[in-house]
Amino acid sequence: MLQRILVTAAVLLRLATGLDNGLALTPPMGWLTWQRFRCNTDCLNRPDTCISERLIKTMADLMVKEGYKDAGYEYIMIDDCWLAKNRTKLGKLQPDPDRFPSGIRALADYVHNLGLKFGIYEDFGTHTCAGYPGSEFYLQLDAMTFAEWEVDYVKFDGCYSDRRDFDAGYEAFGFFLNKTGRPMVYSCEWPFYQSVSGIKPNYTAIQQTCNLWRNHMDIQDTWDSVQSVIKYYGTDDGNFSSYAKPGAWNDPDMLTIGNFGLSYEESKVQMAMWAIWASPLIMSTDLRSISPEAKFLLQNKHLIAINQDPLGIQGKRIAFIKGTAIEVWSKPLSNPSGSFALAFVQLPNPGDPTLFSVRTGDVGLVSPNGYTISDGFTGEEEVTTKSPDDVLKLLVNPNGVILFVATPVQP
């Protein structure tokens, strides 16, 4: 009951404001433990891959040394399983003492000294998804603790909670984050849990409260999982794509590129779609053993430029190619005006590359003066169209993508 009253008071104060923390004006880019390292707490038998300060420091070093920081990746984040099983006697969160012997503040300092930013995970419910202490009944104290530790980004999960409390609860935690005075990116799981519980997410409220929010299931390291996200984003239930804007992003979850489950073509599809959607680019892979191909995709400056375009418009599915399983996606870009990214994605796998023809005017190439079209992965100029009645003949690989950037020809 007390919690409810506190939450209500916080929400009343919040409604007058809305989220204005000046952060995530382009989709956040970083690295997060979960997809690749899960809840491995067994540092005795698997010291190199357990969730520990050692893992975070190692990955942070590699983000700098291997060029990820220069490519734009900025946040390094721990997901679940960093906590001790109990709070301190005074109710404060504390990390597992064996795996984080120096404490979280020292780890944040280490990350900051590399010129990176530091992110952490908690949960709105009584427990985190893996069963560690949750923030319910401690929202204000936990926000203050994160600020004291100089955290820059909080991922806030929704296990072990009543989803009907989310509208008030996520706003309350956002309110307390704001009151700390320390700008922290606020990543919410709010609409995802509500959708799976049959509650229609209020995207207006979510967009005013969170910098990013998860809509769909946790990503898995499989092509099926990536396809399921593409379908969900194509259906665009509740028109959620229209709520993305600078400071507020739909989050299809981590990039699985660099792990075990995706072929190179499938990895290209993932990177292209995440770029088209203006999605947060959150890697979760072992930077010690990543292949050169995966690294090339994750650091691809052309794809990153599409993703980070300052307009911050989430691309949409605009057409299907008749008689094929090919979807067409498009995302407006700022510079030069009228330019856009255009993707042809083949789902599912027909076993053989598919040759198809498309009238340019049917996929948004409507300028009467035509367009210069360059390859979205290499930047190389490919073709020039002359009018909306031109026909492009294209060959797309199974589970593959053709990505273009189209720039209108000036008259």
Among 26, 135, 178, 267, binds ligand NAG (CB under 6 A): 178
Among 103, 131, 183, 234, binds ligand NAG (CB under 6 A): 183
Bond prior to 348 in cis (omega within 30° of 0): yes
Residues 343 to 372 in contact with ligand NAG, rule: CB under 6 A: none
- Kindly give, in sequence order, each residue whose CB lies less than 8 Å from that of residue 24, ignoring residues fewer than 6 positions away: 185, 211, 212, 246, 247, 248, 249, 280
Distance of alpha carbon 332 from alpha carbon 405, whole angstroms: 10
Which string of DSSP letters, residue by residue, matches 100-122?
A: -TT-HHHHHHHHHHTT-EEEEEE
Residues 197 to 216 in contact with ligand NAG, rule: CB under 6 A: 202, 204-205
Q: Are 112 and 154 in contact (CB under 8 A)?
A: no
Q: Are 342 and 329 in contact (CB under 8 A)?
A: yes
Distance of alpha carbon 36 from alpha carbon 24, whole angstroms: 24
* 41 or 202: CB nearest ligand NAG: 202
Which string of DSSP letters, residue by residue, matches 64-98?
A: HHTTHHHHT--EEE--SS-B-SS--TTS---B-TT
Q: Please confirm, yes or no, whether 157 is among the known catalytic residues.
A: yes
Shortest reach from residue 238's CB to ligand NAG, in Å? 9
Among 97, 181, 323, 336, binds ligand NAG (CB under 6 A): 181
> Strand, coil or helix: what is 236?
coil
Shortest reach from residue 155's CB to ligand NAG, in Å? 17
Contact string 124-163 vs ligand NAG (x = CB under 6 A): ----------------------------------------
* 183 or 246: CB nearest ligand NAG: 183
**Binding status of residue 8 toward ligand NAG by CB under 6 A:** no
* 20 or 224: CB nearest ligand NAG: 20
**Strand ordering across the sheet containing 401-408:** 316-321, 326-332, 340-346, 401-408, 371-375, 381-384
Q: Please confirm, yes or no, whether 70 is among the known catalytic residues.
A: no
The one catalytic residue among 157, 167, 221, 251: 157
Residues 270 to 329 in contact with ligand NAG, rule: CB under 6 A: none
Residues 59 to 118 in contact with ligand NAG, rule: CB under 6 A: 85-86
- Interface with ligand NAG (CB under 6 A): 17, 20-22, 85-86, 178, 181-183, 202, 204-205, 239, 242
What amino acid positions are annotated as catalytic residues? 157, 218
